[in-house]
Structure 1
Amino acid sequence: MSAGDDSRFAPEWLELRERADAAARAPGLLRPLRTWLSGRAVAQDRGLVIRDLGCGTGSMGRWLAVRLPGPQHWILHDHDAALLARAECRLPASARDGSPVTATAEHGDLARLTADALVGTSLVTASALLDLLTADEVRALAAACAGAGCPALLALSVAGRVELTPSDPLDAEIGAAFNDHQRRTDRGRRLLGPDAVAAATDAFERHGAMVHVQPSPWRLGGPEDALTAEWLRGWVGAACAQRPDLAPRAAPYLRERLSACAVGELSVMVQHTDLLALPQPLPGSG
């Protein structure tokens, strides 16, 4: 979920959402992930090799590195060199058990991540990325992970459901227009938006992976007032971009919602989903 088309990758937006992201990510997926990783031999001098796709400022690494044991080397991928520089220098220095954590940055197109490129990778991760991909890109990601035999932890994909309290008759109409905007065709790419988790589940399962999904909702309001206000502007703005006819009604709606937010009288639950795909051994390979 972004603050709007022009700002969804802005450092200010990524920093603003980091605390809500950390609180929302599904910790229940870490147990099966740790079990899977512990069952694989890891070279003691190398440890885990984790690739973070579309890493932004590195919030996924800051959340996950301290929750996994053992030495870790993070390879941070993003198309924005400035964001990569921020992420690389802000990764935690130590893992859950005090083992060292290191990082390098790779600037470029995620489409180049083939199975061959992922050889030696222990885990692929991404946060708030899956819903920005196309069906073909999701299938390619699943195929690459399957070919390299590495799991994928894909967090905070939009689920297409938003609950505002108190409610307003226009909530549902704006929400539907926003979801259509998330599924738009952008520069010739048909984005998956809220359909991303279902598409990814199917893609990974077709390669024999065991897929776990858990909800990871943002709960906004109170101390998250700044994030709530920025999210509201982006949510309504995207809905109006998709359906310009909403604008005359959306303008007073947004003013009223922002006023309620400013005095602590608005709470919002933005539903997301986390997905963990674990490769299963081929028959006869164990």
Structure 2
Amino acid sequence: MNEPGSARFEPGWLALREEADAEARAAELLEPLRAHLTARPLVVRDLGCGTGSMGRWLAGRLPGPQHWVLHDRDPDLLARASADMPATSSDGGPVTAETVTGDLAGLRAADLAGTSLVTASALLDLLTAAEMDGLAAAITGAGCPALLTLSVAGRVELRPHDPFDGELAEAFNAHQRRVAGGRRLLGPDAADAAADAFRRHGADVRTGPSPWRLGPGRAALTREWLRGWTAAAREQRPDLAGPADAYLRRRLDACAAGELSVTVHHVDLLALPAAP
């Protein structure tokens, strides 16, 4: 889940979610991806890389020498990402990295020349429909595949059930689709919008589920997710403030007692260039 406001980019939040991200990603998409990646060395561009969790998960699952180009707007996050990249690939090939600071808006096919693979994690729901189409056009125009993981799906399952679950979920999803800075974000519509965009531009698209599974084994992440989820719902619907506060107390108490489990649904997408 992408958190509202600056929390989305805080290193502490990114570190807290990294294990759950790694466990959730749809590993079944890697086999068709590996079959396509025949060039050596691989040049991998990680868009909106944050602290580099995608590189730490993926570099050791791909073969051969690799050079990662890490893109982000935050130079501090880029420094962390570059410093913590794995040293070797799945077969012992060297892994190197460089960083690029800047916004991803306006990325063109020419900018991706020589790229073997484009990756991103928890990024697409922060884009607009036009930005998503532009990204798909750039990637397909460059003739490279894309592995885009952990887009929110707009579905959350909490156990045990609470009567307020549904209303909060609706408010949160509306917040994810909000207009921010004059941009209407895709939010839970991102995975479908991405699949449609890549198909329009001629790519072979495959998707897989990538659910977070939260509960007693990840109590710290569960607590922070609950706080962020309810805060976003309250921001979208100020009239929910009182009931949302009471709900959060109930859910945090259940979390502390080891009685709460949560499934937060995401979607991973693999886009492969169409066969010639």
Q: TM-score, normalised by structure 2?
A: 0.99
Tell me the distance in 1 between the aligned counterparts of 2:241 and 2:6. 19
Report what 1:209 is aligned to: 203
Which amino acid letter does the alignment assign opposite residue 133 of structure 1?
L
Tell me the distance in 2 between the aligned counterparts of 1:146 and 1:127. 18
Tell me the distance in 1 between the aligned counterparts of 2:187 and 2:106. 22
Instruction: Encode CA deviations 1:247-278: one digit per residue, 9 max, x unaligned.
Output: 11111110010011012110000000000000
Structure 2 gaps of 5+ residues are: none
Report what 2:27 is aligned to: 27
- RMSD across aligned C-alpha pairs, in angstroms? 0.8
Tell me the distance in 2 between the aligned counterparts of 1:278 and 1:6. 33
Report what 2:184 is aligned to: 190
1:59 equivalenced with 2:53 (yes/no)? yes
The equivalent position to 1:230 in structure 2, one of 224, 229, 234, is: 224
The 1:4–1:111 alpha-carbon spacing in structure 2 relative to 1, beyond 3 Å, is: closer
Tell me the distance in 2 between the aligned counterparts of 1:229 and 1:125. 29
For residue 31 of structure 1, report the CA deviation from its aligned partner: 0.4
Alignment of 1:5-16 (within 5 A): 5-16=5-16
- Partner-residue secondary structure (3-state), 1:111: coil
Regions of 4+ moved over 4 Å: none
Structure 1 gaps of 5+ residues are: none
Report what 1:153 is aligned to: 147
Tell me the distance in 2 between the aligned counterparts of 1:186 and 1:138. 16
1:279 equivalenced with 2:273 (yes/no)? yes
The equivalent position to 1:131 in structure 2, one of 115, 125, 128, is: 125
Tell me the distance in 2 between the aligned counterparts of 1:3 and 1:185. 15
Instruction: Encode CA deviations 1:147-204: one digit per residue, 9 max, x unaligned.
Output: 1000110000000000000010000000000000000000011000000011111110
- Partner-residue secondary structure (3-state), 2:148: strand
For residue 86 of structure 1, report the CA deviation from its aligned partner: 0.1
Is 1:3–1:233's contact at 8 Å kept on the other side of the alignment? no
Is 1:54–1:126's contact at 8 Å kept on the other side of the alignment? yes
- Partner-residue secondary structure (3-state), 2:76: helix
Tell me the distance in 1 between the aligned counterparts of 2:241 and 2:43. 48
For residue 2 of structure 1, report the CA deviation from its aligned partner: 2.9
Which amino acid letter does the alignment assign opposite residue 233 of structure 2?
A
Tell me the distance in 2 between the aligned counterparts of 1:244 and 1:30. 43
Report what 1:2 is aligned to: 2
Which amino acid letter does the alignment assign opposite residue 92 of structure 2?
G
Q: Percent of aligned pairs with the same residue? A: 67
- Partner-residue secondary structure (3-state), 1:249: helix
For residue 6 of structure 1, report the CA deviation from its aligned partner: 2.6
- Partner-residue secondary structure (3-state), 2:112: coil
For residue 229 of structure 1, report the CA deviation from its aligned partner: 0.2
Q: TM-score, normalised by structure 1?
A: 0.95
Is 1:166–1:266's contact at 8 Å kept on the other side of the alignment? yes
